């Protein structure tokens, strides 16, 4: 199946690892020209041949500076993939019902929602010119907020609302806006010995690997496995493809059956 992505100019944030890296690899395989943004480069990202731009998207000026740098290379953006997100594990994430103080909430919202809004705002004129596509990476925690720290799941719920509202605002200008909502995926959030799931395991008094092995069944996934980042990347490519002109304002969930509502 030809997704008609060859030659498209694609900007991917949070591109150095996990889902972002898989998205870059998938677009490159389709013949797209990819600009990859992250705080730091990785050997795996270098291997893709994508043009790397270092940036901290949690800062107010980072998203604008990124888009300006990308447009300086080529004054065209056909696809924007807003993947950057996450956050640090704070000491009170398990003891505080709100999972952190005001500063924690502000930082998490800046990284997971603010950067999406600012990057999209900066890229929007080019996207309108190209009649392009925006794909935001959300999280199943928007629908299952008890499964993640509350600031993170709340920010991802806001990304879902932002996706739907922006799609309505710019759809008639020819820009398609959609989101992908992954469930438990094999990323650093899950696998890193210093990451969130490792902290959850320590809080429960469990071995990290044991928790990861039990997680799919315990979270209601019907597949028995964590999701491969490449699977999320394939959904991103489909939503970005000109062959899907009626995919507008939707959130496509890939969660292995963890969400039980229709």
Bridge partners (DSSP) of residue 217 are none
Which H or E run contains 62? helix 62-73
Q: Identify whether 152 is a catalytic site residue.
A: yes
Cross-strand bridge partners of residue 9: 33
Which are the contacts of 6, defined by CB distance < 8 A and separation ≥ 6? 30, 31, 32
CA distances from 236 to 15, 100, 146, 206, 232 (A): 13, 32, 26, 34, 6
Residue with tokens 């002109």: 245
Task: Given the residues 52, 152, 162, 196, select the one marked as catalytic.
Answer: 152
Task: Give the active site residues.
Answer: 152
């Amino acid at each position: 199946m030809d997704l008609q992505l060859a030659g498209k100019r694609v900007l991917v944030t949070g591109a150095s690892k996990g889902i972002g890296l898989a998205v870059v690899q998938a677009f490159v395989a389709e013949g797209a020209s990819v600009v990859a943004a992250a705080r730091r480069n990785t050997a795996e990202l270098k291997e893709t041949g994508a043009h790397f731009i270092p940036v901290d998207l949690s800062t107010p000026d980072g998203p604008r500076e990124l888009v300006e740098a990308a447009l300086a290379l080529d004054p065209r953006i056909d696809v924007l993939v807003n993947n950057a997100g996450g956050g640090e594990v704070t000491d009170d994430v398990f003891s505080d019902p709100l999972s952190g103080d005001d500063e924690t909430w502000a930082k998490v919202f800046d990284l997971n929602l603010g950067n999406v809004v600012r990057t999209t705002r900066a890229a929007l004129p080019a996207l309108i010119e190209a009649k392009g596509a925006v794909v935001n990476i959300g999280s199943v925690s928007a629908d299952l907020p008890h499964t993640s720290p509350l600031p993170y799941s709340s920010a991802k719920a806001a990304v879902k609302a932002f996706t739907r509202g922006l799609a309505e605002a710019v759809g008639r200008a020819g820009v398609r806006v959609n989101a992908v909502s992954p469930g438990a995926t094999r990323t650093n959030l899950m696998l890193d010995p210093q990451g969130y799931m490792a902290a959850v395991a320590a809080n429960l008094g469990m071995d990290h690997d044991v928790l990861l092995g039990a997680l799919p069944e315990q979270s209601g996934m019907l597949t028995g496995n964590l999701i491969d980042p490449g699977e999320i990347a394939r959904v991103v490519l489909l939503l970005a493809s000109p062959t899907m002109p009626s995919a507008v304002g939707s959130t496509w969930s890939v969660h292995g059956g963890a969400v039980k509502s229709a």
